Amino acid sequence: MADTLRSGWITTGPKTQQFESAFGERVGAAGALGLNSCTAGLHLGLLALGIKAGDEVITTPMTFCACANVIEHLGATPVLVDVEPDTLNLCPKAVEAAITPRTRAVLAVHYAGHPVDLDAIQDIASRHGIAVIEDAAHALPASYKGRMIGSGDNPVAFSFYATKNLTTGEGGMLTGSPELIARARTLGLHGMSRDAWKRYGHGGSWFYQVDEPGFKYNMTDVQAAMGLAQLRKLDRFQARRREIVAAYNQAFQDMDALEIPVERPEVDHAWHLYVLRLRLGALRIDRDQFINELTALNIGTSVHFIPIHIHPFYQQKYHYQPNQFPVAYEAYGRMLSLPLHPLLSDADVSDVVSAVLDVAQRFAR
């Protein structure tokens, strides 16, 4: 970081290029573009695929609002379909059933860091002539059948938000084919000609051209410097996350009131989130009260996510009913995310375990 500040480059420059190259090598991507958010990556990925007004993009209700918002920003229609009961990822059968003549893409979210069933999704997309874009905000470093998430030619967007497995404070990365990344690079910096940032360097020219109206989505060298440092620590971070997950699983797996998350045998889970689901029939309290009881014991939790279809904008525009996607809606009503971060000490983990078990036992039926 210090060398970046001394260099005079604090916005997009050589350090961003270095981070793009190192990140692309880490996930096996042919091309990588540093951005200011994962949301920017999703937007540019859809633009690079040619998604436009009147098109339909199939996605999941079990995600953050950004996934549906970027589809709306393009004038396209987000078409929600239900998720699989174990992973809470897109259900391939539901995806295929939702395809219409207006469908142009599937936006697949690797929920909590568990990869979606990519072979099934990509097979459906190939047979119907539609594109696949992946939201990998949770999925670094995850793999599916030995292939790193982000290693394909299709657009894949990663998040480096403050809570993510690798952080630049704010930031993101888009991976994909060199051709796709070249187009996204132009769109992501005002539509200016390639490497326009070099005009500020030694020997650079003041002249630039705007090839099409673009956006201000570029990553800064300050962010990239942080990302490079984080990337060197990623394997250590992930090893610690897995230790915490193993401790949680061991503590909760035999509790009637608690359903632990899954990891299918064909994937390597990134474990961005540890989403515990309550078996409400075994408890005298609901999920919200369970969270309140944990809060009283000084354990912070969250819920990932409030499904898209029950947010007022989407509910009102598309007339969704809460139980329209029953798997997602039922899971939402009984889920909570426990603390999961590599800086958690063994004592911290023990405190979380003790609190969860205490609440589950005190309020058992």
CATH number at residue 87: 3.40.640.10
CA–CA gap between residue 113 and residue 141 (Å, rounded):
8
Distance of CA 92 to the CA centre of its chain: 19
Do 182 and 255 sit in the same domain of this protein?
A: no
Do 322 and 357 sit in the same domain of this protein?
A: yes
Do 296 and 332 sit in the same domain of this protein?
A: yes
Domain count within the chain: 2
* Active-site residue (options: 15, 93, 145, 164): 164
Do the Cβ atoms of 179 and 43 come closer than 8 Å?
no
Do 122 and 145 sit in the same domain of this protein?
A: yes
Do 13 and 35 sit in the same domain of this protein?
A: yes
Pairing of strands 56-59, 103-109: parallel
Sheet of 258-259, strand order: 258-259, 274-278, 335-338
Of the residues 214, 231, 248, the one at which a domain ends: 231
User: Per-residue pLDDT for 5 more than 70?
Assistant: no
Reply yes or no on whether 15 is catalytic.
no
Burial of 101 (0-12, 13-18, 19+ CB in 10 A): exposed
Element (H, E) at 32: strand 31-35
CA–CA gap between residue 287 and residue 278 (Å, rounded):
7
Cross-strand partners of 210: 192
> Given the structure tokens 């002249």, which residue do they identify?
207
List, for residues 61-115, the tens digit of each pLDDT value: 999 999 999 999 999 999 999 999 999 999 999 999 999 999 999 999 999 999 9
Distance of CA 158 to the CA centre of its chain: 6
pTM recorded for the entire structure: 0.95
Of the residues 202, 231, 260, the one at which a domain ends: 231
The whole-number pLDDT of residue 2 equals: 66
CA distances (Å), origin 307, targets 131, 330, 333: 24, 10, 10
Full domain range(s) for residue 248? 234-362
Q: Can you tell me the mean pLDDT for 185-192?
A: 93
The whole-number pLDDT of residue 224 equals: 97
Q: Which residues contact 309 (CB under 8 A, 6 or more apart)?
A: 61, 80, 315, 318, 320, 322, 324, 325, 328, 329
User: In this structure, what CATH number is given to the domain that contains residue 352?
Assistant: 3.90.1150.10
Do 9 and 33 sit in the same domain of this protein?
A: yes
Q: Where are the alpha helices (DSSP H) in 81-220?
A: 92-98, 118-128, 178-187
The whole-number pLDDT of residue 195 equals: 58
Do 227 and 96 sit in the same domain of this protein?
A: yes
Do 117 and 227 sit in the same domain of this protein?
A: yes
CA–CA gap between residue 208 and residue 40 (Å, rounded):
23
Do 155 and 69 sit in the same domain of this protein?
A: yes
Band of pLDDT at residue 208, cut at 50, 70 and 90:
confident
Band of pLDDT at residue 201, cut at 50, 70 and 90:
low
Of the residues 190, 208, 231, the one at which a domain ends: 231
Cross-strand partners of 78: 57
Do 330 and 269 sit in the same domain of this protein?
A: yes
Do 173 and 270 sit in the same domain of this protein?
A: no
Do 210 and 249 sit in the same domain of this protein?
A: no
Cross-strand partners of 143: 148, 268
> Given the structure tokens 């995806």, which residue do they identify?
95
